[in-house]
Every structure is written in structure tokens, then in C-alpha cells.
Amino acid sequence: MLAVLPADRLPALLGSAAIAFLVRRDRPGPLAGYFPEPGAAQPRFDEAFFPAFSAFCATRLDDIAALCQGRRYQMNEVARCAQIVLGIAAASTGSGGPVALVDLGTGAGLGLQLDRYRYRIGTGTFGPAGAGLTLACEVRGPLAPPPAGLPPVATRIGVDLDPVDLADPAARAWLVACAPPEATALSRLAAAVDIARRHPAAIVAGDVVDVLPRVLAGIPQQQRIIVTDAYTAVFLPEQRRAELASILAQTGRRRPLTWLSLDPLVPLGPAGRDSVQGLPLPPALVSGYQHGGVFAVLGARTFDEAGDRSRLLARAHPSGQWIEWLSP
């Protein structure tokens, strides 16, 4: 039933989220006992899970399929903000003044609040002391990332094909269903949702490539633009990624703009070999990706009057748990 869905709907993940949504809503025993709750301990996991899961799916196939038909998979892993802020810090060295933050594929807009979180990155701590959420990220490798200081954010705009309305309890429940079934991930999500609800930001509904020119044109001229993309460009077809880069380059000829990408390699999967930004990649990094497991590449591509400059910054854990800095 899932196989008939378009590949860009991520059928396996969508099906998993639909099952989690129904289990949390309907609380079938004993299956519901395996699903964690925010702020609680991680439940036990044993062999009894599998017959309970199979029995639930067998009796609820139509409900699972109906949920999959009407929804999209929405993975809002706020822990990735720890990696994004390091990219912003690296791209902002020597640049002053407020910035406009444009987050592509923003979902619930959690990535638009990154200056309101606190970070423990390696041995350093950054961000507001009274933040309601602290994100930890291990630093691997011999190179140290820059201090995670952020420029003041004057404008925040998200773009998403299907934005999440955090005022809607059903929408929040779907976000939880799409999160990993791990207690600390759910606690991070709950804290980030609370912050985003207290500080709502503008989110434009639409295809990121189609609406981006209008979004960029509306940003005050004195603000330097930072466009962030965490696990969005990797899902665009090659032609659409080229169109995205062209739009950003055209804007950069009129005003400075930096595109920060946190994405796996393309084509998506273990055969990945290219950066979504077209960055040159060391052969050892590509080999490690293909044979050692998928990770994200953090890159910065800056467009301004001087042209188009790109930097490979780091490789990064898919859920924000570690970063290996690669840029001197």
C-alpha cells in the first residue's frame, strides 16, 4: 500500500509516522507502552514488540493508508540547529550588522528560532543563559569549529510546501509522530515548539524554488541574507537544485547572500557522491560516505559582487549529535 505513494513522499518514513500517530492517539495495549513520552524515561524494548506491532498494523491498514494519503512526512529535528549556527558563525566572520534569516523547508519554523536556543558544542557553551532549550553537539576531529556567536537576526522567514500550524493540536501531534521514538528527541521537540509558539515567525507556503524570488525581494536592502537549508535541497531534483542556486546567485549580484546547506550527498542514499551545492569534495570523504554510512555535509556558498565563493565546512551527524570541522 505504501509502495504506490510517490517516492518524494518518503513512503517508509510516512508509514512509520502514521503508525506512531495512531498508536499515540488510540493507546492500543501493549504496543503503546513501547512509545516514549516527552520528559519521561525511554520505555523498555523487547521481542514482544514485534507481534504487537504486526497485529496492530494488520487490523489498522486502512487507517494507516488514509493518514499517508493526506499527509507529508515532517521531520523537525531541532538538534541540527547546533550545526547550522556553526555555519552561520563561520560565514559571518568579519561581517557586521543585522541579518535576514531565510529557512528553506522550515516545517514548523523551529530553525528560525536558533538564536533563542543555548548550545553546548565541544567544550564551549553559547547562547542566552535563560533559554528554554539547550542543544548539545560533540566535536570530532582535530580542527575546532568557530565560536557559535550569531549576528543579530532582524528578519525571519520560513518557506515550506506544507507549513505546520503550531496552534493546531493535531498538527503538533503529527510532528511528534514524525520524531524519532526516543525520549530526549521528543523533549527537544516539545521545548522548541514552546519557544516557536511564543515567538511566531513568518512562514510562506509554497514550493521553495517558486516562492523564493518573492521572499528575497521583500527583505530590507540593508540586511545581509543568510539562507539555510537543512535536509531540503537533497530532496529536490537536479534541475530544481540548479534553479535554486541560480536564484540565489542573481540576488547575490545585488546584495550579499550566503547559502548554508546541511544535506546528505546526492543521489540520496549510499551511492551519494556530490554536494547539493556543487562543492568540490575530498575523495576520502565520498568514500567514507559510501562505505561507512550516510552523514550530512555542511557547506557555505556566498554570492556577492565579487562572484560565487564556496567552502566545505564540516561533516555532521544526521540528527545533530556531532560535527567534524573540515575548514581551516
Q: Does the pLDDT value for residue 92 go beyond 90? A: no
Other Cβ atoms closer than 10 A to 131 = 16
Q: What number is the average pLDDT over the span 226-246?
A: 96
Q: Does the pLDDT value for residue 25 go beyond 90? A: yes
Q: Tell me, what's the pLDDT at 94? A: 64
pLDDT band at 10 (very low <50, low <70, confident <90, very high): confident
pLDDT band at 8 (very low <50, low <70, confident <90, very high): confident
Q: Does the pLDDT value for residue 38 go beyond 90? A: no
Q: In what order do the strands lie in the sheet with 134-140?
A: 124-126, 118-121, 134-140, 322-325, 307-316, 296-304, 257-263, 224-230, 99-104, 153-160, 202-205
What cell was used for 208?
521553495
Compute the distance between CA of residue 256 and CA of residue 241 in angstroms, rounded to an integer: 20
- Higher per-residue pLDDT: 38 or 275: 275
Share of the chain above pLDDT 70, in %: 99
Q: What number is the average pLDDT over the span 230-255?
A: 96
What cell was used for 32?
503503546
Instruction: Name the 3-class secondary structure at 279.
Output: coil
Q: Per residue in 258-311, pLDDT tens?
A: 999 999 999 988 999 999 999 999 999 999 999 999 999 999 999 998 889 999
- Higher per-residue pLDDT: 75 or 249: 249
CA 265 distance to own-chain centroid: 15
> Where does residue 118 rank: exposed (0-12), middle (13-18), buried (19+ CB within 10 A)?
middle
